[in-house]
């Protein structure tokens, strides 16, 4: 997916001449960094993650103190099929019209996919509400937080633990059902069943996913579903 359709020496000459320029995402193990050792320019390698496989190289003249990191990591949450991998996410994003040339690494973490993006792709992702037939939530990822906390509104067909838990943690219902069957899900500290109902003020924890606190019912939709406000604590 990483593009090599650029002339690094040309970009270096443009930066030395006073411009701020950057490459598309490029595989770092294929990048020849020797030309970057140039006294007339500075450069910033941005991949979003601490150890990226693909990154964007921003080049700029030495008189500029620093430049803004163009890469942002976004978190994609949905009821992803348990068989999906990063490649399946990319196929779906391409079908949705996302510019894959402006996407970097795609990584799976605690039920969500984290995607490094820049430029037009970032803008497209932030506006994307559906991925194929999946209802999608896109948020800025908080990579430096050991336990990420966020408030999220979700729509569920019922107050059953399996429905609320899967939607809240952004995993498939079958995946969450497996956790319930293996005793890894607790409602207010007690082992939960799929058919158990969750109420305002309840806490639902799932091993490996974190915990959620049921804040309130926002409203009931025209189709008889419920919009809930949940506080999600993602962690081990």
CB 75 within 8 A of CB 99: no
Instruction: Judge whether 67 lies within some domain.
Output: no
Instruction: Judge whether 156 lies within some domain.
Output: yes
Q: Give me the pLDDT at residue 118, please.
A: 93
Q: Which helix (H) or strand (E) holds 162?
A: helix 161-169
Query: Could you say which DSSP state residue 140 is in?
Result: E
Mean pLDDT by 10 residues, the chain (236 residues): 70 96 91 91 91 92 93 91 88 93 88 90 92 89 63 89 90 87 90 92 87 90 88 73
Please check whether residues 205 and 160 belong to one and the same domain: yes
Domain containing residue 36: 8-61
CB 103 within 8 A of CB 64: no
Instruction: Judge whether 3 lies within some domain.
Output: no
Please check whether residues 171 and 101 belong to one and the same domain: no
Q: Which residues contact 154 (CB under 8 A, 6 or more apart)?
A: 164, 167, 168, 227, 228, 230
Please tell me the distance from the alpha carbon of residue 234 to that of residue 5, in angstroms, as a whole number. 39
Backbone φ and ψ for 206, nearest 5 degrees, come out as -135, 125
Please tell me the distance from the alpha carbon of residue 134 to that of residue 105, in angstroms, as a whole number. 21
Q: Give me the pLDDT at residue 95, please.
A: 95
Q: Give me the pLDDT at residue 235, please.
A: 61
Please check whether residues 136 and 167 belong to one and the same domain: no
Q: Which helix (H) or strand (E) holds 124?
A: helix 119-126
Please check whether residues 210 and 155 belong to one and the same domain: yes
| Count of C-beta atoms within a 10 Å radius of residue 79 | 19
Please check whether residues 175 and 191 belong to one and the same domain: yes
Distances (CA, A) of 202 to 183, 207, 221, 233: 18, 17, 22, 14
Query: Could you say which DSSP state residue 136 is in?
Result: -
**Residue 38, SS3 per DSSP:** coil
Q: Give me the pLDDT at residue 148, please.
A: 60
The structural domain count of the chain equals 3
Q: At which of 61, 83, 102 does a domain end?
A: 61
Q: Which helix (H) or strand (E) holds 227?
A: strand 226-234
CA dihedral 113, 116, 121, 125 (to 10 degrees): 30
Q: Which residues contact 181 (CB under 8 A, 6 or more apart)?
A: none
Q: Give me the pLDDT at residue 73, please.
A: 94
CA dihedral 164, 166, 167, 171 (to 10 degrees): 170
Q: Give me the pLDDT at residue 147, please.
A: 46
CA atoms within 13 A on the CB side of 2: 20
């Amino acid at each position: 997916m990483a593009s090599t359709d650029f002339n690094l020496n040309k970009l270096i000459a443009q930066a030395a001449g006073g411009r701020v320029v950057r490459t598309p995402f490029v595989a770092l193990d294929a990048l020849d960094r020797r030309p970057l050792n140039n006294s007339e320019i500075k450069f910033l390698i941005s991949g979003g993650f601490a150890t990226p496989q693909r990154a964007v190289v921003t080049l700029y003249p030495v008189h500029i103190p620093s430049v803004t990191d163009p890469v942002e990591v976004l978190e994609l949450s949905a009821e992803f099929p348990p068989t999906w991998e990063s490649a399946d996410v990319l196929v779906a994003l391409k079908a949705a019209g996302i510019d894959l040339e402006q996407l970097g690494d795609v990584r799976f973490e605690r039920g969500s996919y984290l995607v490094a993006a820049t430029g037009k792709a970032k803008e497209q992702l932030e506006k994307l509400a559906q991925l194929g037939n999946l209802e999608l939530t896109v948020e800025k990822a908080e990579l430096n937080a050991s336990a990420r906390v966020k408030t999220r509104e979700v729509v569920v067909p019922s107050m059953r633990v399996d429905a609320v838990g899967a939607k809240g943690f952004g995993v498939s219902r079958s995946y969450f059902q497996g956790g319930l069957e293996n005793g890894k899900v607790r409602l207010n500290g007690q082992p939960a069943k799929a058919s158990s109902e969750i109420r305002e003020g309840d806490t639902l924890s799932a091993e490996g996913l974190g915990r959620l606190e049921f804040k309130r019912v926002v409203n009931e939709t025209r189709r008889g579903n419920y919009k809930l406000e949940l506080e999600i604590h993602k962690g081990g």
